Chain A
């Protein structure tokens, strides 16, 4: 009981800190953050330099033809050097890493690479 109260209190305190500037504490994004974290760890584990990549999409596969379940995310990372700063330069084709993440099992795997 005491531990439960402590947890609740801590959660409440952390939630209160959000207006002071930490958007990561929004509970609505916590699954997304976990999915991206798992994806990045998996990509890093494959020998990629994660700092050279940026997340360009993260899709929760909770409906539609690609249904996999609400715990399943498809995260796409793309090489930063292929992304121009503005529309006056070309977007580079390729350089993506597609990562499938299942938060229910905490497993992520590289599903393929973009060309």
Chain B
């Protein structure tokens, strides 16, 4: 199977440049979408020649992912086994700014996050504006890929790599020289967000990896690269697109107006894509290293801090 994020746009009502199906367009400022696992590289052939990622062995896993983005607040993403609710299809107010929607495909086999801004889909319709026609943006559908590899978890086995389970009969001990000694586990996790740290080698957790990757998507991508003034500045782009006009005297109907507006809309989107990608690349190259202040490592470290606290409490309770 070859995965092209644009296929999902072509298959559904979120076709770039085509009016939106109201069922799929959620309330402004709130988007929901369910996605199915796919594992292929989003870069396609735009990677180093002959170095595309290897297929991942193992059973297929399907995740349901719901990304909810409310206004300018922090996007909240939840995982569940069920279906995310469909959008309510409420009408958009004239000239309203829509929040970015869409969600990454989520899979396993590695720990990474790659947006595909080139494949983001814009949905807009043509509306009357006095003597003119203008575009009305109704959705921006973002696509990308997140992969989260389950970290080994053997809660009752004194082995590594492992996820800490600091309970009696768990996998933390006080044996000098053991990689399962409480201090060794703490040290390994405590250096996660320090230079040369990272996940493991012995102690980590899937929850930390999950927090890390979603911080990339929700914080670095949607919150910053897509939306901030330092990046794509989506709300400003949305407003500029909505402000484009062509005269009714030169374009008799919406279809004709759309043909005239399309290159203008495309030009705005081209600039948005370039600015979004440039910001993302600057963020990842500049901050996505342990100890470099990145959002991903901060989010993962916050989860690991809870493990460390639990180990310390266990150690104290055991009198170690």
Which of B88-96, B209-217, B261-269 forms contacts with chain A? B209-217
Specify which chain A residues have a CB less than 8 angstroms from the CB of B110 in the assembled complex.
79, 94-95
Contacts of A98 in B (CB 8 A): 196-198, 290
Residues of A contacting B200 in the complex (Cβ-Cβ under 8 angstroms): 110, 112-113
* Chain A, range 69-95, C-beta contacts under 8 Å to B: 74, 79-95
Chain A residues whose CB sits within 8 angstroms of the CB of B198 once the complex forms: 96, 98, 111-115
Query: With a CB–CB cut-off of 8 A, which chain B residues contact A81?
Result: 41, 43, 47-48, 51-53
Measured between beta carbons, the chain B residues less than 8 angstroms from A113 are 111, 198-201
Q: Is A54 an interface residue (CB 8 A)?
A: yes
The reply to whether A80 and B280 form a contact with Cβ atoms under 8 Å apart is no
Asked if A100 is at the interface (CB within 8 A of a chain B CB), the reply is yes
Proximity bits, A26-60, B CB within 8 Å = 1, else 0: 00000000000000000000000101101000000
Known A-B contacts A81-B53, A89-B43, A112-B192; the reply to A94 vs B112 at CB < 8 A is yes
B284 interfacial contact with A, CB 8 Å = yes
Contact in complex: B213, A115 (CB < 8 Å):
yes
Is B113 touching A91 in the complex (CB atoms < 8 A)? no
Q: Mark B187-213, 1 if CB is under 8 A from A, else 0.
A: 000011001111111000000010011
B277–A87 CB distance below 8 A: yes
Interface residues in B, total, Cβ within 8 A = 46
Q: Is the CB of A93 within 8 A of B220?
A: yes
A111 nearest CB across to chain B (Å): 5
Check if B46 sits within 8 Å of A89, measured CB to CB: yes
A74→B289 CA distance, assembly (Å): 13
B220 to chain A, nearest CB (A): 7
Which of B112, B116, B297 is most buried by chain A, counting CB atoms within 10 A of its CB? Answer: B112
**CB nearest to A89 among chain B residues:** B46
Q: Is the CB of B284 within 8 A of A93?
A: yes
Looking at the assembled complex, report how far the CB atom of B2 sits from the nearest CB atom of chain A, in whole angstroms: 15
Task: Please report the C-alpha to C-alpha distance between residue A90 and residue B220 in the assembled complex, in whole angstroms.
Answer: 12
Q: How near does chain B come to A42, taking the closest CB pair, in angstroms? A: 11
Are B201's CB and A111's CB within 8 A? yes
Q: A109-B201, A114-B111 given. 11 additional CB < 8 A pairs?
A: A54-B48, A84-B46, A84-B47, A87-B281, A88-B46, A89-B43, A91-B285, A93-B288, A100-B196, A113-B201, A115-B198
CB-CB nearest 3 A-B residue pairs: A112-B198, A94-B112, A80-B51
Which residue numbers of A lie inside 8 Å of B, CB to CB? Answer: 49, 51-52, 54, 66, 74, 79-96, 98, 100, 109-115
Q: List 22 A-B contacts (CB under 8 A).
A: A49-B54, A74-B196, A79-B112, A80-B48, A81-B52, A82-B47, A83-B48, A89-B46, A90-B280, A90-B284, A92-B43, A93-B296, A94-B111, A96-B198, A98-B196, A100-B196, A111-B197, A114-B289, A115-B111, A115-B209, A115-B213, A115-B296
